[in-house]
Amino acid sequence: MLDIGLGGGIEGWAVDLDRLDVAAELTASVTRERYPDLAIPFHARWRHFVAGQPALPAGYPAERARCAFDLVILSVLLDAGTGSGWRYRDPVTGATFSRSEGLAVASQRLFEAGQLRDLAGLETESLAEGFQVSEDNPLAGLEGRAALLRGLGTQIEARPDLFAGGRLGGLYDVLAKHRRLPAPAILELLLEALGPVWADRLVVDGVPLGDCWRHPALRRGDSSDGLVPLHKLSQWLAYSLIEPLEDSGIEVVDVDGLTGLAEYRNGGLFVDTGVLRLTDPEASARTHHVSDPLIVAWRAMTVALLDRLAPRVRALLGASDDSFPLARMLEGGTWVAGRRIAAERRPGGGPPFTITSDGTVF
């Protein structure tokens, strides 16, 4: 998609790779500010919970890992754009959070209270109460989030081979069969285990594709014609499962076998620094669906541009490929740089487009 865009073949977009240096300088500056010693954790859900990481039950490493899986899978699947007005006041600390941090803390408190045990029977009203949703505090895609969790509960019941004991933590036991685990194998398992939970998505040859969309610029002579697989939440979840796996004694390798994330902070960074430019500026004022070719192309090129950006950021920081994989650049990094420049450009710091959200994409 990026190659086609560089050749002028993506309707609605122009690409200026010369502006990558601007994005790299901003990313390197933010990274140095946040992590002066470059001891950067992976971009994972654990960064958003209260105090960095919730307390997990004491016990054997494997059971701690299962509990970590139980929590983080639920929390990541609930993480999509909230809209600009939603806030969550933590009843434990009294602090107020918004966006990703707010969703993380809210899901953490629901999990701790045992309110997410019956996923298949979860009522939208219960989720609304847990997320403190009201007319004055609306949350985008509430029904979509609740439906996703209900689908997850149904899938847990349907696949006891993957979800041993009827819990999400059963996926740990599937992965723990490997003492040296390639990171892409985590994603492969997640796509198999979670594929059926995504409602109203493309299905090819009986396989539900999840966060995968069509774009007319991609032509192929088989059933993958036009398909653009992105899997933002699944890949972020794969990154988020690395820490509990490693804490339990499993070595996770080939972390760069996962891609960057096709979400609006990374994508917004490239739009706001001029790497990606709309050929019709009025398009930014219109409302788009996540399946619109303009948005599919934006997300796809974002993933490819992150690969182009990484060597420039490493050079600015004096970091090696091994010490600074993509997962560290995202955390250091592009996600925060995208949020920061968005706050400078737009009231509320939202994405560069208005995108209709069902609460299950980004």
- HEC per residue, 280-348: CHHHHHCEEECCCHHHHHHHHHHHHHHHHHHHHHHHHHCCCCCCCCHHHHHHHHHHHHHHHHHHHHCHH
**How far apart (Å, rounded) are the C-alpha atoms in residues 272 and 249?**
41
**How far apart (Å, rounded) are the C-alpha atoms in residues 45 and 241?**
9
pLDDT per position as a tens digit, 185-220: 999 999 999 988 987 889 998 888 999 999 999 999
The pLDDT-based confidence of 358 (bands split at 50, 70, 90) is low
**How far apart (Å, rounded) are the C-alpha atoms in residues 82 and 100?**
8
State which amino acid sits at residue 171: L
DSSP state of 354: E
pTM of the entire structure?
0.91
| Structural contact between residues 130 and 110, judged by C-beta atoms closer than 8 angstroms | yes
The pLDDT-based confidence of 49 (bands split at 50, 70, 90) is confident
pLDDT per position as a tens digit, 114-153: 888 899 999 999 999 999 999 999 998 899 899 999 999 9
pLDDT per position as a tens digit, 165-192: 999 999 999 999 988 999 999 999 999 9
For 16-21, what is the mean pLDDT? 98
Mean pLDDT of the chain: 92
pLDDT per position as a tens digit, 67-118: 999 999 999 998 877 777 899 999 988 999 988 889 999 999 999 888 888 9
| pLDDT, position 53 | 60
Q: Percent of the chain at pLDDT above 90?
A: 77
pLDDT per position as a tens digit, 216-275: 999 999 989 999 999 998 999 999 999 999 999 999 999 999 999 999 999 999 999 999
Q: Residues with Cβ < 8 Å from 203, sequence gap 6 or more? A: 209
The pLDDT-based confidence of 52 (bands split at 50, 70, 90) is very low
Give the residue from 309, 323, 334, 307 showing the smallest Cα distance to 37: 323
